């Protein structure tokens, strides 16, 4: 088939700006699409933490004029760079007023007051950028609420646009909890008309809900696992938008994220003290000692080490971990945690560290190198998430022979296979109820297995390290999704004439 022109709009992208897994996906998927022959480009903000010099960015001539409804035109400079190790162009929007700040979305746990304008701007700029760079997208690919206005614009203000009007749109939902819910007046900044402020449009509880707009308007939708694609249609996981998702279920698919195995490979990882492989695990012992030393824990080989890396927010189940942690630490175990998030958790787990300095290690903050070391050095990796659209760390853990202990939800359920005692199959430990007892019991099961079933541990580690979640597979499914969107947008006849089937 002919190649597609794809414009991906997102608020995060590795290695330029990252808060969570969204950045990993946006930083890797385009490279695989490019390998497949597509012309894919990314647009994102030039946050002040992105240093143009470090990434060799170049300022394009001219300015981008971005209409912002009632606020009139806004102007921004556009810088161009490449995704490292590829020819994929990334366009950075330079707007001091919106992006010249420390955080991506917030500072000191308080979201910026003008996040509506900041991300409506990003979405609208994505619609205008093609003119400046002379690129006619076949598909706009938006991610999460930050760019959910892209499909809305495409169906309204840009429907008849000569350059982009024929394009299809794909919205990938990485998280239903965060929706971009703003005051009604945000409609005036979108400038699409109040007729869209309805139950069957952007209105939700008398607010302008950008994600809801995207869910209605995108040509097709996906999320990052099949499990979450089902869950997000239920009241328990839909955060009030499950009805909208159900209404669009015929156009919704789940595509599990892949792993960037160039970055996450214990055989070559430069962040860890010793490399190791499935056939020679000796380096993993050194990695364990490295983590124990880093956290000031006794350097014991004969104790199971549990790791956790992630945003310390309720989504990740840190509240049930907080409830279970004293019981867990009463066992002969060590636990280390790396993350930052809700302030209560920093204090709470800080106290736990003071109480159990020999058993519990804590690093509050963001540290990529340390996250690799914890993945490599731990025996088990804990993810007790309340919900998890995909989750990346359990997949990294498998590759590092670090057995995941997960709540069976969303992508965690889809990517981890429960240990089966009879025939030694599986690669991790699962629990279902989202409560401290279930978590504690499952940690207990893992501890028992570690001390008493060395045969089973070896089998599980072997199974885990053999498992792969490749981006080749996921990117092929995105290609399929783009074609599906285009067939729907253009009609099958036009699609076949233009793209050859
Ligand atoms: P989410 O996107 O919901 O935060 P994911 O599991 O998809 O969850 O992705 C989280 C990503 O962010 C992983 O790559 C993880 O290693 C990384 N990460 C999260 N917190 C930290 C931290 N404190 N230090 C280093 N890396 C982190
Ligand atoms: C979101 C989800 C996480 C997922 C990531 C990348 O942040 O919380 O589960 O892995 O997006 O898709």
How many CB atoms are located within 10 Å of the residue 415 CB?
A: 26
Q: What pLDDT score was predicted for residue 286?
A: 98
What the block records as the tokens of 483 is 């074609």
Assess if residue 271 is contained within a domain. no
Q: Which pLDDT band holds residue 94 (cuts at 50, 70, 90)?
A: very high
Going from the Cα of 61 to the center of ligand 1, the distance in angstroms, rounded, reads: 36
Query: How many helices and strands (H and E) does the chain possess?
Result: 19, 21
Residue 501 has pLDDT above 80, yes or no: no
Atom of ligand 2 nearest to the CA of 172: 12
The total number of residues written for the chain in this structure: 501
Contacts 24+ apart (CB under 8 A), 361-366: 361/291, 361/292, 361/294, 361/295, 361/296, 361/297, 361/334, 361/335, 361/336, 361/337, 362/295, 362/336, 362/337, 363/295, 363/336, 363/337, 363/338, 363/339, 364/312, 364/339, 364/340, 365/338, 365/340, 366/340
Does residue 232 share a domain with residue 301?
no
CB 411 less than 6 A from any atom of ligand 1: no
- Cα separation, 246 vs 215, whole angstroms: 10
Q: Do 461 and 478 reside in the same domain of the chain? A: no
Say if CB 101 and CB 112 are below 8 A apart: yes
Residue nearest to atom 21 of ligand 1 (CA): 310
Question: How confident is the model over 140-185, as pLDDT tens digits?
Answer: 999 999 999 999 999 999 999 999 999 999 999 999 999 999 999 9
Judge if 332 and 383 occupy the same domain: yes
pLDDT band, very low/low/confident/very high, at 500 (cuts 50, 70, 90): confident
Considering the domain architecture, whether residues 414 and 491 belong to the same structural domain is answered as no
Residue 272 placed within a domain: no
User: Which residues' Cβ are closer than 6 Å to ligand 2?
Assistant: 20-22, 25, 174-175, 224, 257, 388-392, 411
389 Cα to the center of ligand 2, angstroms? 6
pLDDT number for residue 108: 87
Give the per-residue pLDDT at 486.
97
* Statement: residue 287 has pLDDT above 80: yes
Q: pLDDT for 58-70, tens place per residue?
A: 999 999 999 999 9
Bridge partners (DSSP) of residue 409 are none
Strands 305-312 and 252-254: unpaired
* 344, containing H or E segment: helix 343-355
| Distance in Å, CA 311 to ligand 1 centroid | 6
pLDDT (tens digit, 9 = 90+) per residue, 96-114? 999 999 999 999 889 999 9
Q: What is the extent of the structural domain holding 123? A: 5-258+471-499
- Is the same domain home to 351 and 475? no
Residues in Cβ contact with 180 at an 8 Å cutoff, skipping those fewer than 6 apart: 115, 116, 119, 145, 146, 148, 209, 210, 211
φ and ψ at residue 6, rounded to 5 degrees? -125, 130
Residues 211 and 300 in one domain: no
Looking at the structure, do residues 169 and 308 belong to the same domain, yes or no? no
Q: Is 310 close to ligand 1, i.e. is its CB under 6 Å away?
A: yes
15 upstream amide cis, omega within 30 of 0: yes
| Residue 117, domain CATH | 3.40.50.2000
| Residue of the CA atom closest to atom 18 of ligand 1 | 310
What's the pLDDT band for 1 if we cut at 50, 70, 90? low
The whole-model pTM stands at 0.97
Same structural domain for residues 96 and 210? yes
- Would 479 be classed as within a structural domain? yes
Give backbone dihedrals phi and psi of 211, rounded to 5 degrees, phi first: -60, -40
Q: Are 327 and 353 in contact (CB under 8 A)?
A: no
Please state, as a whole number, how many other Cβ atoms lie within 10 Å of the Cβ of residue 96: 11
How distant, in Å, are the alpha carbons of 342, 366, 370, 465 from that of 374?
A: 21, 13, 6, 16
Q: How far is the CA of 368 from the centre of ligand 1 (A)?
A: 9
Residue 267 lies in a domain: no
Q: Is residue 265 included in any domain, yes or no?
A: no
Residue 76 lies in a domain: yes
Picking from 30, 477, 486, the residue whose alpha carbon sits closest to that of residue 254 is 477
- Give residue 153's pLDDT: 98
* Any domain includes 66: yes
**pLDDT tens-place string over residues 353-392:** 999 999 999 999 999 999 999 999 999 999 999 999 999 9
β-pair type (110-111, 106-107) = antiparallel
Same domain? For 252 and 227 the reply is yes
Q: Over 90: is that where the pLDDT of 400 sits? A: yes
**Same structural domain, 57 and 143:** yes
Question: How close is the Cα of 63 to the center of ligand 1, in Å?
Answer: 35
Between residues 2 and 145, the one the model is more confident about: 145
pLDDT, one tens digit per residue, over 38-60 is 999 999 999 999 999 999 999 99
**Listed residue (215, 264, 271, 283) closest to 243, CA to CA:** 215
Q: Do 97 and 205 belong to one domain?
A: yes
The pLDDT > 70 percentage for the chain reads: 100
Statement to judge: residues 205 and 308 lie in one domain = no
Is there an atom of ligand 1 within 6 Å of 27 CB? no
Ligand 1 atom nearest 311 alpha carbon: 20
Ligand nearest to the CA of 338: 1
- Closest ligand relative to 311 C-alpha: 1
**Any domain includes 310:** yes
pLDDT tens digits for range 442-455: 999 999 999 999 99
Q: How many domains does the chain have?
A: 2
């Amino acid at each position: 088939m002919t190649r597609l022109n794809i414009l991906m709009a997102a608020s995060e992208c590795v290695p330029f700006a990252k808060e969570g897994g969204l950045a990993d996906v946006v930083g890797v998927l385009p490279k695989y699409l490019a390998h497949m022959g597509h012309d894919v480009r990314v647009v994102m903000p030039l946050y002040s933490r992105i240093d143009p010099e470090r990434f060799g960015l170049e300022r394009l001539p001219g300015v981008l004029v971005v209409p912002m409804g009632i606020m009139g035109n806004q102007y921004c400079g556009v810088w161009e760079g490449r995704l490292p190790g590829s020819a994929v162009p990334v366009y950075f929007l330079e707007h001091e007023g919106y992006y010249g700040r420390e955080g991506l979305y917030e500072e000191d746990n308080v979201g910026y007051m003008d996040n509506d304008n900041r991300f409506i701007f990003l979405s609208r700029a994505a619609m205008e950028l093609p003119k400046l760079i002379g690129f006619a997208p076949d598909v706009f690919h938006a991610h999460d609420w930050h760019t959910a206005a892209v499909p809305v614009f495409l169906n309204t203000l840009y429907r008849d646009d000569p350059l982009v009007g024929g394009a299809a749109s794909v919205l990938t939902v990485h998280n239903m909890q965060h929706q971009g819910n703003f005051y009604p007046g945000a409609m005036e900044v979108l400038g699409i008309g109040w007729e869209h402020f309805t139950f069957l449009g952007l209105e939700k509880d008398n607010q302008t809900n950008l994600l809801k707009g995207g869910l209605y308007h995108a040509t097709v939708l996906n999320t990052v696992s099949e499990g979450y694609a089902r869950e997000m249609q239920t009241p328990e996981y839909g955060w009030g938008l499950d009805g909208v998702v159900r209404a669009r279920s015929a156009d919704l698919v789940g595509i599990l994220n892949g792993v960037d195995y160039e970055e996450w490979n214990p055989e070559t990882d430069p962040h860890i003290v010793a490399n190791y492989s499935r056939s020679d695990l000796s380096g993993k012992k050194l990695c364990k000692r490295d983590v124990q030393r880093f956290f000031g824990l006794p350097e014991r080989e004969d104790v199971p080490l549990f790791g956790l890396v992630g945003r310390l927010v309720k989504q990740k189940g840190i509240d049930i971990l907080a409830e279970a942690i004293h019981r867990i630490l009463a066992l002969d175990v060590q636990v280390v945690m790396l993350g930052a998030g809700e302030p209560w958790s920093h204090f709470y787990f800080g106290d736990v560290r003071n109480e159990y300095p020999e058993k519990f290690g804590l690093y509050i903050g963001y540290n990529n190198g340390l996250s690799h070391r914890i993945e490599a050095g731990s025996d088990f990796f804990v993810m007790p998430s309340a919900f998890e659209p995909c989750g990346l760390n359990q997949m990294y853990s498998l590759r590092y022979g670090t057995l995941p202990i997960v709540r069976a939800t969303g992508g965690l359920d889809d990517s981890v296979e429960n240990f089966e005692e009879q025939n030694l199959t599986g690669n991790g430990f699962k629990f279902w109820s989202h409560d401290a007892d279930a978590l504690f019991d499952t940690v207990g099961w893992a501890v028992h297995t570690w001390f008493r079933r060395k045969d089973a541990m070896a089998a599980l580690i072997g199974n885990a390290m053999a498992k792969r979640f490749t981006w080749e597979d996921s990117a092929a499914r995105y290609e399929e999704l783009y074609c599906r969107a285009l067939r729907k947008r253009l009609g099958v006849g036009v699609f076949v004439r233009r793209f050859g089937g």
